[in-house]
Structure 1
Amino acid sequence: MASKTLGGCALAIGILASGIAAAADPEVAAPPLGASDWVVQVTPYLWASGMKGGVSPFERAPTAHVDVPFSEVWDNLNFGGFASIWARRDRFVFAGDLMYVNLSAAEVVGPLPDLAPELELGAELDTVQFYAAGLAGYRVVDTPQFSLDALAGGRFWYVSNDLTLQLQNVGSRSFEQSFSWFDPLIGARAFYNITDKLSVMGQADIGGFGVGSDLTWSLLGTVNYVFDDHWSASVGYKHLSVDYDEDGLLFDVEMSGPVIGVTYRFGGPAGG
């Protein structure tokens, strides 16, 4: 019974990962060095991610191993909001990312053969996750065709779980658990103009270092197309790995999937 209930918990935590998209802010080309005003880009996006790994969303609960495709993530999504921001002034840059996700997973665990074989036990897990990342940096290479930024900052995670166990014709009992942590990060971001409309961007970061998670790292690559001075679109792929294990709470997973975003830019013309 416990293993099946935790399987439902694991599924819900896996669904959370659909919202986890660190720094998924595809960059269009920045203005020439020497511009004194801020250039800002805001990108609502979707990360169609599945998840593999092990989770234990409640203290002292056994680890549940999960392998959740994005199709299951989507089926259990109540609400998700994702947005990123990128800003630059001269050689100073900033990248931020926000996510809020609410998911529910319900499962009929089955009868209790030793206690009440005629009754069925149901389990429902409601999960809320808030995620925020911020990295500041310096543009170490800046040419009309290629740029390279060095970045440092952190990623904050908050997860809240509400598990309800319902025994047929008997009653229900609820369990709540929330946990949070902060991971320091270092990273880099490269941008290359193929044409005045088409570009590619790659970003990588690594962190945790035992401050929050034991280790976390991510890779992001996008292809970007500029429509005009304000609008652009990007498609690409994202992978994120995190290994958090503290006080009996485990979140040791890898998340991968395509990303797609639409960017609005203000404060400067499009260009690299």
Structure 2
Amino acid sequence: MNSSHSGRRLRHAVATAVLLAIVAASGASASAADLGVSQETAPARQSDWSVIVSPYLWAASLQGEGALRGIPVNVDVPFSETFKNLDIGLMGVVEVTNGAFGVFVNGEYVDVTSEKTFRPKLPVIGQTEVNVGAGTTTTIVSAGAYYRAFEAPLGGDNAFGGARVLAISPLAGLRWTRLEGNLSVEVPDVASRDVSDSVQWVDPFVGARVDIDLTPRWNLAIEGDVGGFDIGSRISLNGQAYLGYRTQILGHETMWRIGYRALYQDYTKGGFDWDVTQHGPVIGASVRF
């Protein structure tokens, strides 16, 4: 199966997850009635504010199509290639919440540089070596807020002493993306060319979170959002699901998480085009202070 078909299938899957999450959030009141949960007992609110810090690693592969100053590029980069050429990568989320309402900032910075030398079979060049270098810097910062609109008890307490629940939280925010790319080709003693470009945009997005306490220690979190709306990108789709395990680290409530995330962005401006899906496994931890 080629990369374009795989990208379309992945984008359809992400879109489905996003729409399901949003539909679930919009139908929260009806769901409460179906589950037999009275409005007096759902949701239960907390009053104490806390800060949750969540460093993570997203092992993302890239698939799609792009263009740099009008030069088309087929984007098909497995995570192994990115990791091998990684200069620096920083990822993390900071969240402030009182249980009912919360705000969050999610930041990602990835700098990748690769260099290759080869001998092309071209009569003009002969056996002269050609040096090719490519670099990309990706910065994505998302900020938003959510509200726990629906909460249904599942019986018993979780490992942190709170009630086990199924909760749905609509959310909204902004996602700022900055992409910088450069390409250099050098034929020693013959010619060289450098091409570079950068672009940035801001996408509004709306979506929802669904949290389910499977057991006192195990938790399932699903989140999806849709954005862009031709304000920044044409459209963006973000979907993620994590299995979490509650424990303690140095006396702080901690949730170890492992899951999968996919982010699709379709942005075009001038000679710059970015129609790419980033997807892959995620591992991290959330520590409450």
Q: Please give the TM-score of this superposition, normalised by the length of structure 1.
A: 0.79
CA displacement, residues 50-93 of structure 1 (integer Å, 9 cap, x when unaligned) = 1211011x2121x2223222111111111101111222125222
Contact 2:56 2:92 in 1 (8 A): yes
For residues 27-42 of structure 1, the aligned pairs below 5 Å read 33-42=44-53
Q: Match of 1:72, SS?
A: helix
Please report how far the alpha carbon of residue 170 of structure 1 lies from its aligned counterpart in structure 2 after TM superposition: 4.2
Contact 2:222 2:242 in 1 (8 A): yes
Paired amino acid for 1:59 = R
Report the counterpart of residue 178 of structure 1 in structure 2: 198
Paired amino acid for 1:74 = F
Q: Please, which of 44, 50, 64 is the counterpart of residue 53 of structure 1?
A: 64
Please report how far the alpha carbon of residue 190 of structure 1 lies from its aligned counterpart in structure 2 after TM superposition: 0.7
For residues 254-269 of structure 1, the aligned pairs below 5 Å read 254-266=277-289
Q: Please, which of 207, 215, 219 is the counterpart of residue 239 of structure 2?
A: 219
Report the counterpart of residue 6 of structure 2 in structure 1: none
1:136 aligns with 2:154: no
Please report how far the alpha carbon of residue 165 of structure 1 lies from its aligned counterpart in structure 2 after TM superposition: 2.3
Paired amino acid for 2:273 = L
Report the counterpart of residue 92 of structure 1 in structure 2: 101
Q: Percent identity?
A: 30
Q: Please, which of 111, 125, 136 is the counterpart of residue 127 of structure 1?
A: 136
Paired amino acid for 2:130 = L
Contact 2:46 2:100 in 1 (8 A): no
Report the counterpart of residue 80 of structure 1 in structure 2: 89
- For the residues of structure 2 that align with 1:100 and 1:67, how far apart are their CA atoms? 20
Report the counterpart of residue 221 of structure 2 in structure 1: 201
CA change 1:68–1:161 in 2 (3 A) is closer
Q: Which structure has the larger Rg?
A: 2
Report the counterpart of residue 245 of structure 1 in structure 2: 268
CA displacement, residues 136-166 of structure 1 (integer Å, 9 cap, x when unaligned) = 1221013431111111111101112233322
Q: Please, which of 55, 64, 70 is the counterpart of residue 44 of structure 1?
A: 55
Contact 1:110 1:122 in 2 (8 A): no
Unpaired segments ≥5 residues, structure 1: 1-31, 267-272
- For the residues of structure 1 that align with 2:135 and 2:93, how far apart are their CA atoms? 25
CA displacement, residues 92-111 of structure 1 (integer Å, 9 cap, x when unaligned) = 22232101111102233644
Contact 2:119 2:127 in 1 (8 A): no
CA root-mean-square deviation: 2.0
CA change 1:169–1:92 in 2 (3 A) is same
Report the counterpart of residue 154 of structure 1 in structure 2: 174
Please report how far the alpha carbon of residue 208 of structure 1 lies from its aligned counterpart in structure 2 after TM superposition: 0.6
Unpaired segments ≥5 residues, structure 2: 1-42, 153-162
Q: Please give the TM-score of this superposition, normalised by the length of structure 2.
A: 0.75
Please report how far the alpha carbon of residue 171 of structure 1 lies from its aligned counterpart in structure 2 after TM superposition: 5.9
Q: Match of 2:126, SS?
A: strand
- For the residues of structure 2 that align with 1:99 and 1:167, how far apart are their CA atoms? 35
Choose 157-166 or 242-251, whichever is displaced more.
157-166
Contact 2:218 2:243 in 1 (8 A): yes
CA displacement, residues 157-211 of structure 1 (integer Å, 9 cap, x when unaligned) = 1112233322213464433311111111001001011222111100000011111
Q: Match of 1:128, SS?
A: strand
- For the residues of structure 1 that align with 2:187 and 2:287, how far apart are their CA atoms? 50
Contact 1:108 1:120 in 2 (8 A): yes
Matched positions, count: 233
Q: Match of 2:129, SS?
A: strand
